[in-house]
Amino acid sequence: MAVSGFEGFEKRLELHFSGDDPVIGNMGLRLLDFESLEKVLHAVQCTVVSAVGNQYFDSYVLSESSLFVYPTKIIIKTCGTTQLLKSIRPLIHHACTLGLMICSCRYTRGNFIFPKAQPYPHTSFKEEIIFLENNLPNNLYYRKASVLPSKLSTHSWHVFSACDESHILMQNMPDELYTIEVCMTELDRVLAGKFFRRPNDGKNGDSAGKEMSEITGIGDINPNALICDFAFDPCGYSMNGIAGDRYSTIHVTPEDGFSYASFECVGSIYDDPDNIVEVLKKAVQVFRPGTISVSTTCTGHKVWKCVAKAIEPLGMKFRSCTMDEFPATESVVFQTFTSRRK
């Protein structure tokens, strides 16, 4: 294991807002000017490398992962040694100028490969919780922090969730959307090798990224999605896929010794469950990892049962499953798998 390599494991923040003005409600947070977003990202220590949008939301590929901006929701996911939680205060401030108030917050992450390299406030989950507690407004008073363990010492799932009264009152109207976050380590060396650029290939990040999407099969995971991809120099890859009001995203750190890839997507509980099984299968086969952890966030639906159905037939052995409930009726299910070839 390298003393310290690039930290693939992302930190992820999802913020929801509400407001009274329907005109702003249609565009909402999408009205934030690019300069304001850039300042927020500067505080986090990353930049935008590529962007695409549609009628529902805007998607940004970052130097360290991804940002998605919906009218009343922001999802920001960053890897490396970024200081993601420093985005909370400025985002709440910018939303406020548009007449939007924060009504819920969810922060999630796996186990860092290089925890000692993380800067404040990400030095420990305890520090992160203190920072969150101090930077969220008092109206978000339903709060819970939890670590979901697994049978693998290297994999656990950290969750902090907070929401206001309105989110609790909406319990009778469960959200139909679910989020699946897949973290993969010990990638197949040959497959990981496809995410290295040839020296002096004469390409820019966009065209090299497009080529990687094609040769790795990433472009086939969801053929209906518009893909915004980027290849880093000398190695590494990021992509955001957008299809209607849904996103998917992949990030790859291919270096041997600390190789990592993540796949995240959203779906609806009304979708055909076979679809998510197929999507997960395709995503995992791009990397053939030694270890996989999958976190499913959903309001009381059994989507997580599709996960093993997708992953076990790929030569993976189911290792553990833990579950916890959070404010706003969300349940988080955390599952781990290891390769049978181990």
Give the annotated binding-site residues for substrate.
Answer: 6, 64, 232, 255
Establish whether 65 is a catalytic residue: yes
Assess whether 235 carries a catalytic annotation: no
Give the C-alpha separation, 288 to 192, whole Å.
9
Which regions of the chain does DSSP assign to beta strands (E)? 11-18, 48-53, 58-62, 65-70, 73-78, 101-109, 142-148, 157-163, 177-185, 226-231, 237-243, 246-253, 260-268, 291-298, 316-325, 331-339
Which listed residue (16, 46, 59, 65) is catalytic?
65
Catalytic residue among 46, 79, 105, 306: 79
Q: Are strands 177-185 and 226-231 parallel, antiparallel or unpaired?
A: unpaired
Rounded Cα distance, 272 and 316, in Å: 23
Alpha-carbon span 308 to 310, nearest angstrom: 5
Q: Is 301 a catalytic residue?
A: no
Compute the distance between CA of residue 94 and CA of residue 97 in angstroms, rounded to an integer.
5
Identify the active-site residue in 16, 94, 158, 251.
251
Q: How far is CA 148 from CA 10, 328, 330, in A?
A: 16, 18, 14
Specify the amino acid at residue 299. T
CB atoms within 10 A of CB 201: 12
- Catalytic positions, written as ranges: 65, 79, 238, 251
